[in-house]
Structure 1
Amino acid sequence: MIRYAITSRALFPGDEARRQESLIEQCARWAAEDIDFIQLREKDLPAGVLASLARSVLAVISASQTKLLINARADVAMATGAHGVHLTAAPGELTPAQVRHLYAYAERPTPSVSVSCHTLDEVIQACTNGADAVLFAPVFGKIVAGEVITAAAGLEALREACAIAAPVQVYALGGVTLENASSCIEAGAAGVAGIRLFMG
Structure 2
Amino acid sequence: MKKPLDYSLYLVTDQHCLSKNFANNLEKAVEQAILGGVKIVQLREKTANSRTFFDQAERILAICRQHNVPLLINDRMDIALAVGADGVHLGQSDLPADVARQLLGDDKIIGVSARTVTQAQKAKQDGADYLGIGAVFGTTTKDDAKVIDLATIKQINQAVDLPIILIGGINNQNLSMLKENIDKNQLKISGFAVVSAILQQDDIYQASKNLLLKIST
The bucket for the TM-score relative to the shorter chain is 0.7 to 0.9
Structure 2 gaps of 5+ residues are 1-6, 200-206, 208-217
Q: Is the 8 A contact 1:158 1:172 kept in 2?
A: no
- Work out the percentage of aligned pairs sharing the same amino acid: 24
Match of 2:11 in 1: 5
Match 1:47 to one of 35, 50, 62: 50
Answer yes or no: is 1:161 the counterpart of 2:167.
no
Higher relative helix content: 2
Taking the TM superposition and a 5 Å limit, the aligned residue runs for 1:92-131 are: 93-104=94-105, 110-131=107-128
Post-superposition Cα deviations, 1:41-90, rounded to whole Å, max 9, x if no partner, equal: 11111111101001111112222231111111111111111111110123
Work out the CA distance in 1 between the residues paired with 2:191 and 2:181. 8
Work out the CA distance in 1 between the residues paired with 2:103 and 2:144. 35
Answer yes or no: is 1:30 the counterpart of 2:33.
yes
Task: Please report the TM-score for the alignment, with normalisation by the length of structure 1.
Answer: 0.82
Instruction: Please list every run of at least 4 consecutive aligned residues from structure 1 whose deviation after the TM superposition is greater than 4 angstroms.
Output: 148-151
SS at match of 1:179: helix
Counterpart of 1:124, as a letter, is Q
Offset of 1:149 from its aligned partner?
7.2
Higher relative strand content: 1
Offset of 1:171 from its aligned partner?
0.6
Paired residues in the alignment total 186
Post-superposition Cα deviations, 1:75-117, rounded to whole Å, max 9, x if no partner, equal: 1111111111110123xx312222221124xxxx721011111
Work out the CA distance in 1 between the residues paired with 2:181 and 2:29. 25
Q: Is the 8 A contact 1:136 1:170 kept in 2?
A: yes
Offset of 1:170 from its aligned partner?
0.6
Counterpart of 1:155, as a letter, is L
Q: Is the 8 A contact 1:171 1:192 kept in 2?
A: yes
Work out the CA distance in 2 between the residues paired with 1:139 and 1:12. 22
Counterpart of 2:12, as a letter, is I
Counterpart of 2:95, as a letter, is L
79 and 103 in structure 1: CA distance in 2 versus 1, 3 angstrom threshold: same
Offset of 1:139 from its aligned partner?
1.9
Offset of 1:165 from its aligned partner?
1.9
Work out the CA distance in 1 between the residues paired with 2:180 and 2:113. 20
Work out the CA distance in 2 between the residues paired with 1:144 and 1:60. 27
Work out the CA distance in 1 between the residues paired with 2:87 and 2:36. 20
Structure 1 gaps of 5+ residues are none
SS at match of 1:69: strand
SS at match of 1:144: coil
149 and 48 in structure 1: CA distance in 2 versus 1, 3 angstrom threshold: closer
CA RMSD of aligned residues (A): 2.4
Counterpart of 2:13, as a letter, is T
Work out the CA distance in 1 between the residues paired with 2:126 and 2:181. 24
Q: Which has the higher contact order (CA 8 A, sep 6+)?
A: 2
Most deviating of 153-162 and 67-76: 153-162
Q: Is the 8 A contact 2:135 2:168 kept in 1?
A: yes
Task: Please report the TM-score for the alignment, with normalisation by the length of structure 2.
Answer: 0.76
SS at match of 1:180: helix
